[in-house]
Amino acid sequence: MLQYHHFKELDSTNAYLQRQQSERDIRNWVVSTDEQTAGKGMGNNGWESEVGKTLTFSWAVDVSFLPAARQFLLSEAVALGLYEALIPLIPVEKLHIKWPNDIYYEKRKLAGILINSTIKANLMDVSIIGIGLNVNQMQFQDWPTHPISLKTITGEEYDLQPLLEQIAEHIIKKVELLKSDPVAIEQEYLKRLFRYRTWADYEVGGEIMRLFMTGIDQFGRLQLVDAAQKAYSFEIKEIKFVL
């Protein structure tokens, strides 16, 4: 049973749960806020959100069944759950998962995911999943990710709490599927992955390279080849998508 906790303001929902984790059992806590004063994205990038217009929440999930070496599976499952929750709302043919776990509408960022995990021995323990989804916000700074919101796409206003609960339901199903059929998660993730099995431009070490995306390895590293079939493997922050 999920326990929902809402605050008018927090520095960061992920940081709040991390502080609580040292004092109590936070599994199944879902913490949301109207305003994050120090919200973070992947690689400590900032997350822009207008007060009360963006869905910002974190969720402590028990993933003690998952081997630590396969923790990227959780990232895939969460991204898929969020993706599927959005399918009824916007045109699915324009919706993508951008590696490693951002949700994009065409070439514009709709949502971001940040996961902080604890590990015991060779298994995962509790993972704190932070999600920022642009919902009713209409104006954004000129970030390189070119943010977009649900309201920008559809013109409709959304009630944040029911939307949060719908997203949680979809993510729960995907995390549960990891226990019985992780291969299905991997296959579905690739099916939804932006630029999978296509040629595109990427920035690597300050240079633009034309590369073909072949997939993801078991550790979540992006796999690509060039025209000469030379293979490349990239960690997060080692490669940039040219959009």
pLDDT digits (tens, 9 = 90+) for 170-206: 999 999 999 999 999 999 999 999 999 999 999 999 9
195 or 48, greater pLDDT = 195
In terms of DSSP bridges, do strands 29-36 and 3-10 run parallel, antiparallel, or are they unpaired? parallel
What per-residue confidence (pLDDT) applies to 96?
97
C-beta of residue 148 within 8 angstroms of C-beta of residue 108:
yes
Q: Residue 97 corresponds to which amino acid? A: I
Residues 6+ apart with CB under 8 A from 156: 150
What per-residue confidence (pLDDT) applies to 41?
54
Report whether pLDDT(62) > 80.
yes
Give the predicted TM-score (pTM) of the model: 0.93
Q: Whole-angstrom Cα distance, residue 50 to residue 132?
A: 12
Q: Whole-angstrom Cα distance, residue 130 to residue 56?
A: 8
Write the DSSP string, 124-185: EEEEEEEEEEE-S-------TT----HHHHH-----HHHHHHHHHHHHHHHHHHHHH-HHHH
**For the residues 8-12, what does the mean pLDDT come to?**
94
C-beta of residue 134 within 8 angstroms of C-beta of residue 149:
yes
Q: Whole-angstrom Cα distance, residue 234 to residue 69?
A: 17
Q: Whole-angstrom Cα distance, residue 59 to residue 31?
A: 6
Range 98-119 burial, b when 16+ CB lie within 10 A, else e: bbbbbbbbeebbbbbbbbbbeb
What per-residue confidence (pLDDT) applies to 144?
75
User: pLDDT-based confidence at 42, cuts 50/70/90?
Assistant: very low
- Burial class (CB within 10 angstroms; exposed 0-12, middle 13-18, buried 19+) of 240: middle
What per-residue confidence (pLDDT) applies to 137?
93
What per-residue confidence (pLDDT) applies to 48?
60
pLDDT tens-digit readout, 69-98: 999 999 999 999 999 999 999 999 999 999
Q: Whole-angstrom Cα distance, residue 153 to residue 116?
A: 30
Mean pLDDT (the chain, rounded):
93
pLDDT tens-digit readout, 134-148: 999 998 876 778 899
| Locus of tokens 């045109």 | 91
